[in-house]
Amino acid sequence: MQGDIDRILYHETTILSRLDEMAHTIAKDYEGKELTVVSILNGSFIFMADLLRRIPLPLQIDSWSVSSYHGTKSKGRIEFRQNSIADVTGRHVLILDDILDSGLTLRAIKDRLAAESGAASIRSCVLLRKKLQREAATVADYVGFEIPDEFVVGYGLDYNEQYRNLPYIGVLNEEAIRRHAR
């Protein structure tokens, strides 16, 4: 697996110290509020576990299974794999996703929550945000790291369901992209 990575962008220790800072900010912002975290699976499962253990507030978790990607390109259309969402009426919702690329996924999730949920507020938090030539379809309120517009894997992020368990975030090489293409 390691041989498929061109270069490592963030080691686990770097990620965790950034999560300490993000958790501190989030805990201050939501103190005294009824918080529900909506986590977007599968990509955010490690990020969610590491971030939420650093937030010393009462909170609830709802996990959504969403898919938007095929290979290394966004399809521009997202699929929700579950029909019902947790009742967040009057609660403050924080959406967690692994990465903001085109922003289409996050925008669709925010739109669905805004239309169906009766939440008191909706904000979003991503571990990574790609620096794009064009503008993303939406913004995130909390961002871990800004990265170049390259395809990355590890720490939850996949390429065709591979590499999620790498303990760091790295750029996938062209050879591996071809090998796992489908």
* Sole binder of Mg ion in the list 38, 43, 144, 170 (CB under 5 A): 43
Rounded to the nearest whole angstrom, what is the least distance from the CB of residue 157 to Mg ion in the complex?
6
- Can 98 be counted among the known catalytic residues? no
**Rounded distance between C-alpha atoms, residue 25 and residue 87, angstroms:** 25
Mark the segment that binds Mg ion (CB under 5 A) among 53-61, 75-83, 143-151, 157-165.
Answer: 157-165
What Rg value do the Cα atoms of the chain yield, rounded? Answer: 16
CA angle 137, 142, 144 (to 5 degrees): 100
- 79 Cβ neighbours under 8 A, 6+ residues apart: 66, 67, 68
The tokens for 39 are 């986590």
Q: Does 117 bind ligand IMP (CB under 6 A)?
A: no
Please give the Cα distance from 129 to 9 (Å, whole number).
13
For position 168 contacting ligand IMP by CB under 6 A, the verdict is no
Site membership for ligand IMP, residue 103 (CB under 6 A): yes
Q: Does 154 bind ligand IMP (CB under 6 A)?
A: no
Residues 44-73 that bind Mg ion (CB under 5 A): 69
Q: Could you tell me the smallest distance in angstroms from the CB atom of residue 113 to Mg ion?
A: 20
Looking at 4, 97, 98, 101, which residue is catalytic?
A: 101
Question: What are the Cα distances from residue 120, in Å, to 14, 15, 88, 93, 117?
Answer: 33, 30, 8, 8, 9
> Are the CB atoms for 111 and 66 separated by under 8 Å?
no
CB of 74 to Mg ion, least distance (A): 10
By CB under 5 A, residue 170 contacts Mg ion:
no
Tell me the angle at which helices 12-30 and 45-52 cross, rounded to the nearest 10 degrees: 60
Q: Which of 54, 63, 69, 177 binds ligand IMP (CB under 6 A)?
A: 69
Residue 45 or 168 with smaller CB distance to Mg ion: 45
Q: Could you list the residues that contact Mg ion (CB under 5 A)?
A: 43, 69, 158
Q: Could you list the residues that contact ligand IMP (CB under 6 A)?
A: 43, 68-69, 74, 97-106, 151-153, 157-158
Residues labelled as active-site residues: 101
